[in-house]
Amino acid sequence: MNNAAPPPPKHLPVRPDWLALRTEPIIEPALPIIDPHHHLWDHVGNRYFFPELMSDLDAGHNIRATVFMQCEAMYRADGDPELQPVGETEFVNGVAAMSASGNYGPGRACAGIIGYADLRLADRVKRVLEAHVAAGGGRFRGVRNMAVFHKDPAAHGSTARPPEGLMRDESFRKGIRVLAGMGLTLDTYLYHTQIDEFSELARAVPDAPIVLNHVCAPIGIGPYEGKRQEVFAAWSKSITEAAKQKNVCMKLGGLGMRIFGFKFQDEKLPPTSEELAKAWGPYVEHCISAFGPDRCMFESNFPVDKGTCSYVALWNAFKRIAAQYSASEKTALFSGTAARFYKLSVA
């Protein structure tokens, strides 16, 4: 789904020395958390494999399980191109097996695996999904197909390059129906300018369990820089409409990415959880109001968001935002919704 041009923007660099300039104690250290969205990859200058993931998971929050999210890692180099993404599931299942040994702590990394299959294959996608299931050791839960598209390159903040109009493509919709028929889920990522188009898609596939990534990215860069209130008004109205589709859940996170335009990465010191909660709170709170806690889940989006903040500060920020909710609502937001959607257990 990636086109050759233009070259994708890079993620914010992870700077351990900068992140170490500030530390803070863990808020509510006993609260169980499922992190339903992180990656594993070996990018130049940004390796995030099992040791790096475990370093973050062991930082003090009570991470009981995680879900790996597709990121084009370790695809097969040879063979049928449609089956090459299965290599990612094979790789991650090996990482999950290491964690499941118990030798690295009680949490279960990659207890759920989200891979990639091009849903535009329509009926043909079934054989790809079956290969993922076979490779996943009982952990494969579904796929992510990103829909992020904007005609202005300055507004684009993702490494993905899907085509315009993907969500209206009938072959894509047929592929989603095949996915749902196999009991699998769909993750997707899109910009705030595309939410209404997504709502049309969700109405067309009402039996498909779908989760939106990164609060649907209200853009804060390029032509939208300096227009935060205007963008928030448009974004929040579209989010309210999208929430009417009961087959849809929302991931609360990704706000550390450059596309949001908060620019914490330009400061001398990394942000505190108080600063993050103040900036991110309005977006998180509106999503929870629209979807309800039972259809929302906090996510780390690491190591992408690690360019903005530490794992400790990120989850502390979410806990600060969630302080206003009841105990049962917090359970849903931090573990319950993710456990139900991805069919996981929290020991």
- Return the pLDDT at 1: 43
pLDDT at 223 over 90: yes
* DSSP class per residue in 171-196: HHHHHHHHHHHTT-EEEE---GGGHH
Residue 66 has phi, psi (to 5 degrees) of -135, 165
- Return the pLDDT at 157: 85
Mean pLDDT of 218-231: 97
Any residues with CB less than 8 A from the CB of 134 and at least 6 apart, and which? none
Mean pLDDT of 127-148: 98
Mean of pLDDT over the chain: 95
- The residue to which tokens 């990704």 are assigned: 254
* pTM listed for this prediction: 0.95
At 347, is the pLDDT very low, low, confident or very high (cuts 50, 70, 90)?
low
| The two three-digit tokens of residue 169, written as one number | 């493509």
8 A C-beta contact, residue 256 and residue 264:
yes
- Return the pLDDT at 8: 43
| The two three-digit tokens of residue 230, written as one number | 């205007």
Residue 192 has phi, psi (to 5 degrees) of -60, -25
pLDDT at 5 over 60: no
8 A C-beta contact, residue 46 and residue 13:
yes
- The residue to which tokens 């940004």 are assigned: 46
Q: What is the pLDDT of residues 94-125, one digit of tens each?
A: 999 999 999 999 999 999 999 999 999 999 99
The whole-angstrom separation of Cα 82 and Cα 63 is 34
% of the chain beyond a pLDDT of 70:
97
The whole-angstrom separation of Cα 37 and Cα 69 is 6
- Return the pLDDT at 6: 42
Mean pLDDT of 20-40: 98
- Return the pLDDT at 9: 53
Spatial CA neighbour of 297 closest among 239, 234, 250: 250
Q: What is the pLDDT of residues 246-282, one digit of tens each?
A: 999 999 999 999 999 999 999 999 999 999 999 999 9
Longest pairwise C-alpha distance within the chain:
52
8 A C-beta contact, residue 124 and residue 82:
yes
8 A C-beta contact, residue 276 and residue 22:
no
- Return the pLDDT at 58: 96
Q: What is the pLDDT of residues 43-73, one digit of tens each?
A: 888 899 999 999 999 999 999 999 999 999 9
pLDDT at 205 over 90: yes
The whole-angstrom separation of Cα 320 and Cα 323 is 5
Residue spans of the domains in the chain: they are 30-342
8 A C-beta contact, residue 212 and residue 190:
yes
- Return the pLDDT at 7: 43
| The two three-digit tokens of residue 266, written as one number | 């330009």
Pick the CATH number of 30-342 from 3.50.50.60, 3.90.550.10, 3.80.10.10, 3.20.20.140: 3.20.20.140
* DSSP class per residue in 45-113: TEEE-HHHHHHHHTSSSEEEEEEEE--S-S--SSS-GGGTTHHHHHHHHHHHHHHHTSTT-SSEEEEEE
The whole-angstrom separation of Cα 79 and Cα 83 is 7
Q: What is the pLDDT of residues 288-323, one digit of tens each?
A: 999 999 999 999 999 999 999 999 999 999 999 999
Any residues with CB less than 8 A from the CB of 324 and at least 6 apart, and which? none
Does the N-terminal peptide bond of residue 162 adopt cis geometry, omega within 30 degrees of 0? Answer: no
Q: Which strand (E) or helix (H) includes residue 230?
A: helix 228-242
pLDDT at 159 over 90: no
Residue 92 has phi, psi (to 5 degrees) of -70, -35
Does the N-terminal peptide bond of residue 8 adopt cis geometry, omega within 30 degrees of 0? Answer: no
